Amino acid sequence: MGVSVTAAGSAEAEVLRTAMVEKLTGLGWGGIRSASVEAAMRTVPRHLFVPDATLERAYAQDSVVTHRDERRVAISSASGPGVVAAQLEQLDVQPGHRVLEIGAGTGYNAACLAELAGSEGQVTAVDIGAEIVAEAREHLAAAGYPDVRVVQGDGHLGYPEGAPYDRIIVTAGAWDVPTAWREQLAPGGRLVVPLRVKGISRSVALELDGEVWRSVSIEERGFMPMRGPEAIGEFNAELPPKRGMWIRADDGLPVDLQALGAAVDTTPAQAWSGVVVPWVPFDHLDYWLAGASAQVCRILVSSHAVEEGLIKPLYSWGSMGLYTHDSFAYLIRRPAADTETSGGAETVELGACAYGPRATQLADELVSRLQEWEQAKPHRAALRIEVHPAAAAPSDLAAMITAEKRESTVFVISDQT
């Protein structure tokens, strides 16, 4: 059992905070890269923003869920420290900057932003939840950041009263890039947003070129979807009930739960790609899998369902996949013959598992896309994103993914396209 915050002294919190930061600075990817972000995260007392958590939990690497809806679905949390650090690095806040945060959460991120912006800067956080706003204000005041402004409102509209902003950061999954964010950003500014494209969430740093957003960095990070009148929620359902397998789909595409639920009881088909890679974060693999399909999904399988015979997905949090009205497929892995690379990382072979009448067809399609991703290795790191106003989106832009939204059209572009 951990030590509660109320019973712990500041010395113990400082030890844990130092350990948290040192772990983030030691990461080979993501994490802390700059002295300014390191200083901010060493300074802000994270435990004061999650007062119901133990000190160990407050300074662990995982997120801390703070609010759930009536169905017990998480709607707000303190993001894991690694996620916070990665987004702060993407945002590149400088002293004196005016910063808008969309999604107040616990207030921790706003406190880090305040450290980065300094006494001459200004941080405003907006959230749609009245209770979340009230708690964030309390946490910020208790931690010594009373000048951070936290307001209730719909984040899709930004906060025009404080505009223009040098930086805008979104800390919830956004399906679209609203016009309001472009209008409220100062010239030369930057937007960091966890952008959902065909069910794939990436934290994208965008800068404006006229009315077109162009990416300057893309990080693999997942976030809870935004809420509000303009939000597009993910479809999330169990297949079938009480079996421990879920499907998540985006863009309002149809999902036949009855037919897909029946598919779970069919004999699975497995196919292996011959693609052997180190077990480290993959270069934009999900984008390659989604590029040619209108119906992509994410499949999650619980540990007890795996014990009962369902096939384990690529990651513990699920795998990218494809689906039709009666069948679905998702990524899997197995140890490769050569178990270690020269860097000491485990190597795995990537493959596909599929259920339903079209299982073999879908598994083969996933394997084909894995092989295309492997062949594109020289170009993968150069992948970029452009976001155009919906009314002015070009029709002849070569892209591996084109996603039409309400206010924008998103293009995911590879040098190969």
**Ramachandran region, residue 210 (left: φ > 0; alpha: ψ -120 to 50; beta: rest):** left
CA 410 – CA 23 distance, rounded (Å): 35
Please confirm, yes or no, whether 79 is among the known catalytic residues: yes
98-102 and 319-323 beta bridge pairing: unpaired
| 191 close to 257: Cβ distance less than 8 angstroms | no
Residues 6+ apart with CB under 8 A from 188: 166, 207
Which of helix, strand or coil describes residue 305? helix
- Round to whole Å and give the CA distance between 46 and 40: 11
Helix H or strand E encompassing 232:
none
Alpha carbon of 247 to those of 64, 239, 255, 350: distances in Å? 23, 7, 9, 20
Query: Which helix (H) or strand (E) covers residue 381, if one does?
Result: none
Residues present in the chain in total: 417
Running DSSP on this structure, what letter comes out for residue 160? Answer: G
What single string gives the DSSP state of each residue in 17-65? HHHHHHHHHT-SSSS--SHHHHHHHHHS-GGGGSTTSBHHHHTSSS-EE
Structure tokens at 172: 């919830």
Q: Please choose, from the candidates 383, 391, 394, the residue with its C-alpha nearest in 3D space to the C-alpha of residue 408.
A: 391
Closest CA to 260 of 366, 367, 358, 364: 358
The catalytic position among 77, 79, 273, 319 is: 79
Rounded CA gap, 230 and 180, in Å?
Answer: 12
Q: Are 223 and 75 in contact (CB under 8 A)?
A: no
Residue 309 has which token pair? 């015979």
Neighbours of 305 (CB within 10 A): 19
CA distance 256 to 271: 24
Find out whether 348 and 339 touch, Cβ atoms under 8 Å. no
Q: Which residues are catalytic?
A: 79
